[in-house]
Amino acid sequence: MRKKIVAAMLASMMVVSLAACGGGDDGSGSTGGDTKKEETTGTDEKKDDAADDAVAATDDENTLTVWCWDPNFNIYAINKAAEIYAKDHEGFNVKVTEIQSDDIETKLTTAMSAGDLSTLPDIFLMQDNSFQKYATNYPDIFVDLTDKGIDYTQFSEAKVAYSTLDGKNYGVPFDNGAAISCYRTDMLEQAGYTVDDFTDITWDDFMEKAKVVKEKTGQPLLTQQAGSTDIIMMMIQSVGASCFTEDGKANIVDNEAVKKAVEIYSQMVKDGTLLEVTDWDQYVASINNGTVAGVINGCWIMATVTAQEDQSGKWAVTNMPKMEGVGEASNYSNNGGSSWAVTSNCKKPDVAVDFLKSTFGGSTELYDDLIAKGALATWAPAGDSDVYNQEVPFFSNDKVYAKIVDFATKTPSNVTGPFYYDARDAIGVALSQITQQGIDIGTALQEAQDTVDFTMGG
């Protein structure tokens, strides 16, 4: 009998190791005890290695450590910024670790839960949409950047709002996620349209034209990862609405903007004018392979569109359709974008702040260089630079950068709050219930509302 008890305890041990890691580290699942354990250790080891590689803040006066994630984009940007800063500051350099944004977030959560911030770097980059969540839950991570000499009036208000909590600035705005629509002009032409027919239009108009395009060319006009809410969220922000009320309560089921956005989306799926794909790779493929005639997303999607060089001259950029009848309809919105933050583990916050101030918050030279990478400044003076008025051959010599900067300044601001992603996920679930399982919009949104209320009630 004792043997049995011991056996039972051993059998359940693995679950506990899961519970022990603060409720589910990557306790890899499986169907066979022991190998599974090995696997877990395997991945854990890998993770630990990565953690060792992820350089924490140093004592070296001239070196700042940075975490960010895209070698072609933000890593390039921070290195370039360091180069520029080093011109006036002999010997200055940055040590960058490439870590995916959600891994950075996991690391922050883990460090805070353990009460040990010594693993954090001097500076890290954070998605704008996550900023409120971390600033609210873990304010101790951040160095307050208010009144540290950074002129926030030179950034667009909506952008600064992401990294501001209770009147305190916790971040230095970096890239811009202004929503753009990219269309295949050759396909529009077949349907008898030009890109002007899709500029400054309403969604109703857009849906009708999309049907014509579908009929004439056989191609859907839009693509989206199933269950992803990018388009919905852009629509909601375009009328200045949000999934939350001003006082932070979830506002989904009685929210006309959400309802209207979901209606438009599900109708387009029904019409066959919006293609739903299963993952990001297929999303990219649907754009590059000409499976669809257009895409709406943050302006960083241009990097994906332009990757297909043989399609040069076949694409055009314009603003997104506007959603009429709810709130103040505009053709402008935002998806993505990120801001720099300084951690409280930084031993020399003055250097870090001065570095960010004089580069991302004060160097036209930096932004002029970054434009080639598709990094559009949210720092207003950069938009005046000549570089932004250059013609881009890929888009038939259109001045797309200037266009996007213009879009960005017109983007309405909305409430995000710490539960932004919870709301976003819940709406994503509702969306797949509606489009894939045929549940009616009211029921699905009510469920989303309940889910978010439940999470917030914890």
Partner 1 sequence: MSGPNKKGMSLEKKHNVTGWVFLIPATALICWMSFYPMIKAFIMSMQTGIGINLTFGGAANYLRILKDPTFKQCLFNTFFYLIIQVPVMLVLALALASMLNNKHLRFKGLFRTAIFLPCATSLVSYAMIFRSMFANDGFINTVLRGFGMNPIMWFANAWTARAVIIIALIWRWTGYNMVFYLSGLQNIEYSVYEAAKIDGASPVQSFFKITVPLLKPTILLTTIMSTNGTLQLFDESLNLTNGGPGKSTMTLSHYIYNTSFVQSPNFGYAAAMSIIVLIMVAILAVIQMKVGDER
Residues that bind partner 1 (CB under 8 A): 4, 7-9, 11-36, 39, 42-43, 102, 105-106, 109, 112-113, 115, 133, 136-138, 226-227, 276-279, 281-282, 418-419, 421-422, 425, 429-430, 432-433, 436-437, 447, 450-451, 454-456, 458
Give CA–CA dist 444/450, Å, rounded. 10
Which CB atom, from 205 or from 447, has the smaller least distance to partner 1?
447
Give CA–CA dist 438/301, Å, rounded. 30
Which CB atom, from 16 or from 372, has the smaller least distance to partner 1?
16
| Residue in this structure with the two tokens 């709050």, named with its chain if needed | 417
Which CB atom, from 109 or from 267, has the smaller least distance to partner 1?
109
Minimum CB separation of residue 353 from partner 1 in Å reads 25
Which CB atom, from 10 or from 372, has the smaller least distance to partner 1?
10
Minimum CB separation of residue 186 from partner 1 in Å reads 23
Give CA–CA dist 175/382, Å, rounded. 12
Minimum CB separation of residue 30 from partner 1 in Å reads 4
Which CB atom, from 29 or from 91, has the smaller least distance to partner 1?
29
Tokens matching residue 370: 């970054």
Give CA–CA dist 258/370, Å, rounded. 35
List all residues 6 or more positions away from 283 whose beta carbon is below 8 Å from its beta carbon. 223, 224, 225, 277
Which CB atom, from 280 or from 350, has the smaller least distance to partner 1?
280
| Residue in this structure with the two tokens 């990120």, named with its chain if needed | 338
Angle at 436 between CA 444 and CA 294, to 5 degrees: 105
Minimum CB separation of residue 140 from partner 1 in Å reads 8
Per DSSP, helices labelled H in 191-342 are 203-217, 230-238, 256-271, 280-288, 302-306
**Pick from 227, 252, 296, 250: nearest CA to 434:** 227
Tokens matching residue 139: 């304010």
Which CB atom, from 9 or from 307, has the smaller least distance to partner 1?
9
Give CA–CA dist 192/185, Å, rounded. 10
Q: Are 290 and 221 in contact (CB under 8 A)?
A: no
Letter for the amino acid at 203?
A: W
